Amino acid sequence: MSALLETHGLTAHYGDFQALFGIDFVVEPGEVVALIGANGAGKSTFLKSVTGLLKAPRDSVRFGGETISGLAPDKIVGRGIALVPEGRRLFPSLSVEENLMIGGFTRRAGAWNLNAVYKLFPILRERRHAPGTALSGGQQQMVAIGRALMSNPQLLICDELSLGLAPIVVKEIYDALPSITQDGLSLIVVEQDVATARAVSQRLYCLQEGRVSLTGRSQDVTHEQISKAYFGI
């Protein structure tokens, strides 16, 4: 079986500052992979490089067996990668439904549409005419996930879903993930909360100062290994 997503020796720079140093990272079809690491470790930079928001070196990112490094972000969405960005980034003046429709702009064939999103998060059907600004943080996160699913991705990347949300809301959001992955969709979950990251994923990668400091099966890695990989002590 060939990998769905594969980065090989991925590097990233902001001007003279190097943020990633040769990241090798694999996601298999249907797999949930967690990406953890302290603030500034390089998680968002990695996601930006994979989704085309930062230019990745030639041949360093492959998806479905083909090179995608160098493609524009919308072309990468068209290949089947969708991002749920940190901080949700909804259009505040647009309604829930309009925000979801924007996600369907680069639409691939598949089962996700407005009805499927409303079935996943019934509260969004009730609030479909409400503007983005009128929603709770949890509801905004549901819209951001729904918007990404509307493109019918093969790989969904979620950046810090739990940021700023109450634990009970975080649980509600994470409880929806199995219905999202049941048809074989793969997930990368970036999480500050290590316990949540381990619980929802099959494998994890930890970044430290732009390098992979630990990778393994989420249930097999120990607390000691994670602490060392996080902080380098």
Where does this chain bind ligand ATP (CB under 6 A)?
14, 17, 19, 37, 39-45
Q: Evaluate whether 227 touches 213 at the Cβ level (below 8 Å).
A: no
Min separation Cβ 36 and ligand ATP, Å:
9
- Rounded to whole angstroms, what are the CA distances from 112 to 78, 138, 151, 156, 214? 14, 20, 7, 13, 34
- Which H helix or E strand runs over 170? helix 167-175
Question: Following CA atoms 47, 178, 79, 74 in sequence, which dihedral angle do they give, to the nearest 10 degrees?
Answer: -60
Is the Cβ of residue 100 or residue 158 nearer to ligand ATP in the bound state? 158
Is the Cβ of residue 41 or residue 187 nearer to ligand ATP in the bound state? 41
Looking at 10-95, list the stretches that DSSP marks H as alpha helix, in order from N- to C-terminal side: 43-51, 73-79
Is the Cβ of residue 46 or residue 63 nearer to ligand ATP in the bound state? 46
Min separation Cβ 74 and ligand ATP, Å:
21
Min separation Cβ 48 and ligand ATP, Å:
7
Is the Cβ of residue 37 or residue 138 nearer to ligand ATP in the bound state? 37
37-46: burial string, b at 16+ Cβ within 10 Å, e else:
bbeebbbbbb
Min separation Cβ 223 and ligand ATP, Å:
20
